[in-house]
Amino acid sequence: MLLRKNMFEHKYADVNNIRLHYVTVGKGKLIMFLHGFPEFWYEWKNQLAEFGRNYQAVAPDMRGYNLSSKPVEVEQYRMKYLINDIRALAEHLGYKKFILVAHDWGGGVAWPFAIRHSEYLEKLIIINAVHPVVFMRELRDNPAQQKASQYILVYRTPKAEEILSRNNYALLASNLLEDGIKQGYFTEEDKNAYIEAWSQPGALTGGLNYYRAAHLGSFTGESDDSLSADPSLFVVAVPTLVIWGEKDKWLLTGNLEGLEKYVSNLTIKRIPDGSHWVIHEKLGLVNSYIREFIEG
């Protein structure tokens, strides 16, 4: 039986020179969920209810999003700050070891967190999110991934906010919610919640600043040393589950090839008819994969 939404506790943590809003459910070992763009803590509401039965399940609004602090400077969205937010939040909650689950940009932070701070993690679960070196390789060598990533160039321009907020966030709503509303796994209530989050002052810019602050090397014509660096610098030493919706039109399945070179204990679960939003589309299946992995 799932927990009721009124079991969700909304709290704030003053960490790493910002204030993070987070939602917590349940007690026990910590399992933390990191959302991607253009979502917020609400992406994980079903997982909070499910895993809050056995764990302390926590989903923050990442910096720049919804009710968390939104630093103005793009520099404040560099990876070192994003990683420290997660470490500091875990310590604020009283944990030095936890399970980390992440999707999209949340995974963009979780991968390097696991690389740099494996001592904090018991297990890592990644859902349609790219390992930094593998993604750089795909951007350099795979024309299909280059084409699929063109939107990143738009997101890094000063016009991105106007484009994405036009007609009451129509483009964001279409990309994220339209199919789900048609198929019944999203509701109008969900759509209203997302629009409210996107409408928070500075929130859209905060989310876009992740793209603006990121080093995407060869894709943008800038230099990037990660591909020539020692592979051992990018190894994940904790048991890792990667769940991948193979119909993802932005992050292609080439990002799974050679992943074992960087993850010593790797399990991959492919979902052939899942898209980038597989968390929402295949809720029961995704939750079963997570539970099997963390309790196995």
State the catalytic residue, choosing from 104, 169, 280, 289: 104
State the catalytic residue, choosing from 42, 211, 262, 289: 211
Q: Which two tokens stand for residue 266?
A: 């790797």
State the catalytic residue, choosing from 103, 131, 276, 280: 276
In whole angstroms, what is the distance from residue 201 CA to residue 69 CA? 10
Q: Which string of b and e fits 55-67 if b means at least 16 CB within 10 Å? A: bbbbbbbbbbbbb
In whole angstroms, what is the distance from residue 263 CA to residue 232 CA? 10
Catalytic annotation present for 276:
yes
In whole angstroms, what is the distance from residue 41 CA to residue 66 CA? 8
3-state class (DSSP) for residue 59: strand
In whole angstroms, what is the distance from residue 151 CA to residue 74 CA? 19
Catalytic annotation present for 92:
no
In whole angstroms, what is the distance from residue 214 CA to residue 97 CA? 27
Q: Please give, one letter per residue, the 3-state secondary structure of 90-155.
A: HHHCCCCCEEEEEECHHHHHHHHHHHHCHHHEEEEEEECCCCHHHHHHHHHHCHHHHHHCHHHHHH
Whether the CB-CB separation of 129 and 111 falls below 8 Å is answered with yes
* Catalytic residue list: 104, 211, 276
